[in-house]
Structure 1
């Protein structure tokens, strides 16, 4: 199976052929994969080199001319380093574009903390009007990218090496039911779904699958909890607690408890492998099962 990043390259190459309005802005990352696209569309595939603030500014400028920019690099260099440009060159100027990241929270631990971005979605939450997609499979990444490119809005597509085994029919809006139960609701975001399903095996809980987290599908959560008091766990592949405020807002008139699981704030300085980071943050099936069971007061089958 190809990775989400590989699927992004092949899909965007085709989209550049199909849509003369589309433009691509790079900062060296993935430039090799886009060489054929650059040869075919030299005026619409722009590599600014390792100048991430310029990359965002060029994307905003292209949008002002009527083009639809797709801007791509590692998440830490796409959202964190040029955040002022994201805020001003897209948001303040009132133009749209599609930011597509790679690297996620710790896809390449050997690159060190400079290449890790667990806070990217929380940072974008400080801005108005961003749609945030977190696909959990390459098929979903392609589907969400194809939904994002025709518009004029501001979209962030967060790609990762971590992937669920199977893709699902995502629509860029709704949370999908993955399991039904009575003792609580667990929202699994993007590539966390398989781990959540393994962690909650034998528990009487509803599992919702979220690949579009902004706007937050409040109606799906409300339907899942029914009419009584509710316990909700949200498992996200980035900073823990990023979406707890969204859950609280969705259930403001309902007695409820919320547990936000994700990447801890502490920095892990022994970089290791991605799987070791998942376990260290309690995001592997064993860690999730323990914390979800304790929160819900559920009996864990042995």
Structure 2
């Protein structure tokens, strides 16, 4: 199976052929994959070099002219390093575009902490008007990317090497989908966390929701899932900073008695490179770690 990043490259190359409004802005990362697109559309495929602030600023400048920019690099260089440009050049100026990241929280541990971005979604959450997609499979990434490219708003698409075995229907309204129904609590699995959550909750009497669009947060969907339980117990499993969505969930359930556990990447920096799977296990995001923490929280 191809990776989400592979699918992004193939899909974006086709979209550039189909839609003259689209432009692609790169900062060296993934440039080799766009060699043909760069030859065919030299005025709409721009590589700015290792200049991430310019990367975002150039994309926003294109948006000001009426183009629809797709801006791409690793998450740490797309959201964290040029955050001021994301905030001002896109948000303050009120223009739309599509930011597409690779690298996720720890896809390339050997790159060190400079190439890890577990706080990216939390950082984007400080800005108004952004839609945030976290696909869990290359097919989902393609669907969400195509919708974002055809739209007008500000969209962040977070890609990862971690992928679920099968794709699920995504897009459209972007609400949480119910995968399994139970009476003993609600577990929200975000993007590539889905397979591990399913394995971890096997045999537990819980409702499992699947989320690929995390902003705007589907508060209504969460309220429906919690329903009339006397004590709504909710676990949110995210592939980025633990607790990123607990405030949104608390707001959604403000009128209901509830408890929320936010699971994700810990704040503690892991200074050993290791592998992606080893980082998952170290943060308790593998099936065994999730089973222990979800079961403990729900009293199972």
Distance of 1:22 and 1:44 partners within structure 2: 7
* Residues 1:36 and 2:31 aligned together: no
For 1:83, the equivalent position in structure 2 comes to 83
Counterpart selection for 1:289 from 288, 291, 295? 291
For 1:45, the equivalent position in structure 2 comes to 45
Distance of 2:139 and 2:151 partners within structure 1: 20
Counterpart selection for 1:265 from 261, 264, 267? 267
TM-score relative to the length of structure 2: 0.99
Distance of 2:293 and 2:210 partners within structure 1: 19
Deviation of 1:102 after TM superposition, in Å, equals: 0.1
For 1:25, the equivalent position in structure 2 comes to 25
Aligned residues: 298
Unaligned runs of 5+ in 2: none
Report Cα offsets for 1:65-121 as digits up to 9, x if no partner: 000000000000000000000000000000010000000000000000000000000
For 1:117, the equivalent position in structure 2 comes to 117
Deviation of 1:171 after TM superposition, in Å, equals: 1.7
Deviation of 1:152 after TM superposition, in Å, equals: 1.5
Distance of 2:224 and 2:128 partners within structure 1: 26
The DSSP-based 3-state class of the residue aligned with 2:31 is coil
For 2:144, the equivalent position in structure 1 comes to 144
For 1:127, the equivalent position in structure 2 comes to 127
Report Cα offsets for 1:213-249 as digits up to 9, x if no partner: 0001111111111113200000000000000001001
For 1:197, the equivalent position in structure 2 comes to 198
Report Cα offsets for 1:135-190 as digits up to 9, x if no partner: 00000000000110112110000000000000011025111111110000000000
Distance of 2:225 and 2:182 partners within structure 1: 9
Distance of 1:87 and 1:222 partners within structure 2: 31
Q: State the superposition RMSD in angstroms.
A: 0.5
The DSSP-based 3-state class of the residue aligned with 2:157 is strand
Q: Which moved more, 1:19-28 or 1:165-174?
A: 165-174
Distance of 2:206 and 2:248 partners within structure 1: 20
For 1:253, the equivalent position in structure 2 comes to 255
* Residues 1:60 and 2:51 aligned together: no
Q: Which moved more, 1:7-16 or 1:164-173?
A: 164-173
Distance of 1:24 and 1:40 partners within structure 2: 12
Distance of 1:178 and 1:42 partners within structure 2: 44
For 1:214, the equivalent position in structure 2 comes to 215
For 1:168, the equivalent position in structure 2 comes to 168
For 1:243, the equivalent position in structure 2 comes to 245
Distance of 2:220 and 2:125 partners within structure 1: 20
Report Cα offsets for 1:197-221 as digits up to 9, x if no partner: 0000000000000000000111111
Runs of 4 or more above 3 Å deviation: none
The DSSP-based 3-state class of the residue aligned with 1:32 is helix
TM-score relative to the length of structure 1: 0.98
Report Cα offsets for 1:34-88 as digits up to 9, x if no partner: 0000111100000000000000000000000000000000000000000000000
The DSSP-based 3-state class of the residue aligned with 2:146 is helix
Distance of 2:92 and 2:134 partners within structure 1: 24
